[in-house]
Amino acid sequence: MSSDHLSTCISVCTITVVTGIYVAAWAGYHLLLHPGVLWACLFNVTWALALWSYLQTSLTDPGSPASPEWQAWAQARQGERSLEQWQKDAEEEAGNLRERSWAPGKPTWCRSCRMERPERAHHCASCGCCVLRMDHHCPWIGSCVGWRNHKYFLLLNWWCFWSCACLLLTMTRPSVIEAIGISSNLSAKSILRMVMVLSIMVFLMLTGLLFALSLYAAMRNATTIEEFFAGANPYTLDSSMDNLTELLGPPGLRWLVPVPCACRRSDGTQFPTKPEALSYGSV
């Protein structure tokens, strides 16, 4: 089996297992916790948005060379320099660099893919390709978080947090305290409730933390990879709202729904920078 086929199989298995966890949580809430009708409706809305966000994050191309944005960029750059010249220049430049650094306004060369790539694109060893404005590889979605699905990743953590909160806050039969309490006559049903509630508590804390960290990075227009770069971030704009708008599009209800971003200023291959950014070093 080739590495591409193996990677695809792992991704499919991961998505299937995680989707199964979502379904199990929904079934456990309704069958074991006996919520009221109105509370159940509230939970179902947040649960559906969480699952929708997860599937969008997992199934959307994060910004691979096959994405339309990359294809349009590559088409526009045809003939500027040969691949051989690109490789020669990149290797000479790489020999003078000891660590990754910023390269505002400049495409770079990937020695793994042996091709040029837009600024802020990076290579993912797990996916076997470069990704536009790559943030990180997430094993839970079986893919990377990049330019085209970063919004969905934020919403995944946001709606998972509120889905978990709704489940815990709307429990009445039993309450959270009763569900995690240990008694001398534990039944199989009470053990299932205890395991489920404790698991939901863990997911609540985990997704809440991930959302807070991801939002903080987005407000500074930084990716997880770029957090390790030396020097000031040339892509940080004048305000947190400007940085969020570049990633999510104009403020509005679309920010809360896992649908494609509208009217973003960048296409993922070129990004606005501070006026002094052109004086920064390159990768």
pLDDT tens figures, 220-270: 999 999 999 988 999 999 899 999 999 999 999 999 999 999 889 899 999
In a domain, 115, yes or no: no
Average pLDDT estimate for 72-83: 77
In a domain, 98, yes or no: no
Q: How far is CA 266 from CA 46, 101, 148, 162, in A?
A: 30, 21, 11, 30
For residue 83, the model assigns a pLDDT of 56
- Per the structure, the complete domain to which residue 231 belongs is given by 3-66+136-279
Number of structural domains, the chain? 1
In a domain, 226, yes or no: yes
In a domain, 31, yes or no: yes
In a domain, 131, yes or no: no
In a domain, 21, yes or no: yes
In a domain, 74, yes or no: no
Q: How confident is the model at residue 97 (pLDDT cuts 50, 70, 90)?
A: very low
Q: Tell me the pLDDT of the chain averaged across its residues.
A: 87
Q: How confident is the model at residue 5 (pLDDT cuts 50, 70, 90)?
A: confident
For residue 79, the model assigns a pLDDT of 66
What CA dihedral angle connects 130, 134, 136 and 141, to 10 degrees? -80
User: Does pLDDT of 48 surpass 80?
Assistant: yes
In a domain, 40, yes or no: yes
Count other C-beta atoms under 10 Å from residue 216's C-beta.
Answer: 11
For residue 277, the model assigns a pLDDT of 46
DSSP string, 4-17: HHHHHHHHHHHHHH
* β-strand partners of 129: 124
